Amino acid sequence: MSQVLVFAEFANGQLKKGTLELLSAARKSGLKIQALALGSGAKGLADQLGKEGVDQVFAADDAKLDQYNPELFAEVVSGVLTAQKPAVVLASSTMLARDLFPRVAAHMNVGVTSDCTELEISGSGDVKARRPMYSGKCTAEVAFENSPTKIVLMRPNQLSITPATAAKTPSVEAVSMPAKDLKTLVKEIVKGTSGKLDLTEANIIVSGGRGLKDAAGFKIVEDLANVLGATAGASRAIVDAGWVPHTMQVGQTGKTVAPTLYIAIGISGAIQHLAGMSGSKVIVAINKDANAPIFQKATYGIVGDAFEIVPALTEEFKKLLAH
């Protein structure tokens, strides 16, 4: 029987939302579901994965996998996939997965597609996916030819989460670490200190642009983001100006995001910015220029001065969310 294998990502012992989305899509296919989890605590996910309808868990429960090492991860993942030969592999299109899975695909000589926004898996394990191209000006339908395993990386927040109808008790297979010597050693990964979800995984994003006048003006974006439990993002103009770090940039040369709610404040809506956020479900634009291109993409538009509107919105949300 064909199977679909989900690359299960987790934090603090809980499966990430993107993984729950992939598991919902996997269940729809009616295929046997496998999950692969890497790092300390991987074994402990079996119960959660069982509740999500997973039949078999591969757990590489080793602290060496707690931080990303491209060579080691590619060895471990390729080892499992080569042995299991799943028809489909699903992973969230995160920075890590976009680095890892092309390596795995090359190891296995199979196809990979990233940054997908739509997915269909047939009962026989065939895949049709769609992905935006040319800064979102068109979308491509992707099919695989002569690829016994098809690797699909889905943008988070694109697939809906449906509850599993029946829980399973999955078998848990321990994945051993490769014996071969590695050529690369990752000494340290320095993480951002915001404590907020990464932009690519965030459900709500509040972004600011040059309309905020200067670095101090960005505070109104952060205040609103804090009240909403959102992640703050930025246009390239203010990254280039040094107001905020590049990790916060949304767009063609920044991050591609697809939150449920994207609030763009003082951002004109240049094509390169839209390329990174037009997959958002609801877009709210706040701009004092009624002709700003962002309004053509916005679900809701507020024409006016951000310095009047945003603090007022923040206060209203504070009151609303206090109840």
Ligand X SMILES: Cc1cc2nc3c(=O)[nH]c(=O)nc-3n(C[C@H](O)[C@H](O)[C@H](O)COP(=O)(O)OP(=O)(O)OC[C@H]3O[C@@H](n4cnc5c(N)ncnc54)[C@H](O)[C@@H]3O)c2cc1C
For binding to ligand X (CB under 6 A), which residues are involved? 209-211, 235-238, 249-254, 266-268, 270, 272-273, 276, 286-289, 292, 305-307
Query: Which C-beta is closer to ligand X: that of 200 or that of 287?
Result: 287
Minimal distance, residue 51 CB to ligand X, in Å:
39
Minimal distance, residue 113 CB to ligand X, in Å:
22
**Burial of 157: CB neighbours in 10 Å, binned 0-12, 13-18, 19+:** buried
**Burial of 183: CB neighbours in 10 Å, binned 0-12, 13-18, 19+:** exposed
Minimal distance, residue 267 CB to ligand X, in Å:
4
Minimal distance, residue 251 CB to ligand X, in Å:
2
Query: Which C-beta is closer to ligand X: that of 90 or that of 257?
Result: 257
Query: Which C-beta is closer to ligand X: that of 53 or that of 266?
Result: 266
Minimal distance, residue 8 CB to ligand X, in Å:
30
The span from the CA of 300 to the CA of 55, in Å, is 43
Query: Which C-beta is closer to ligand X: that of 150 or that of 210?
Result: 210
The span from the CA of 116 to the CA of 234, in Å, is 23
Query: Which C-beta is closer to ligand X: that of 77 or that of 244?
Result: 244
Minimal distance, residue 239 CB to ligand X, in Å:
8
Size of the chain, expressed as the number of residues it contains: 323
Terminal C-alpha separation, the chain: 51
What long-range pairs does 59-63 form, CB within 8 A, spacing at least 24? 59/172, 59/173, 59/174, 59/175, 60/36, 60/174, 60/175, 60/176, 60/177, 61/37, 61/174, 62/38, 62/177, 63/39
Comparing C-alpha atoms, which of 250, 25, 278 is closest to residue 133? 278
Minimal distance, residue 290 CB to ligand X, in Å:
9
Comparing C-alpha atoms, which of 10, 246, 247, 252 is closest to residue 115? 252
Query: Which C-beta is closer to ligand X: that of 93 or that of 235?
Result: 235
Query: Which C-beta is closer to ligand X: that of 249 or that of 278?
Result: 249
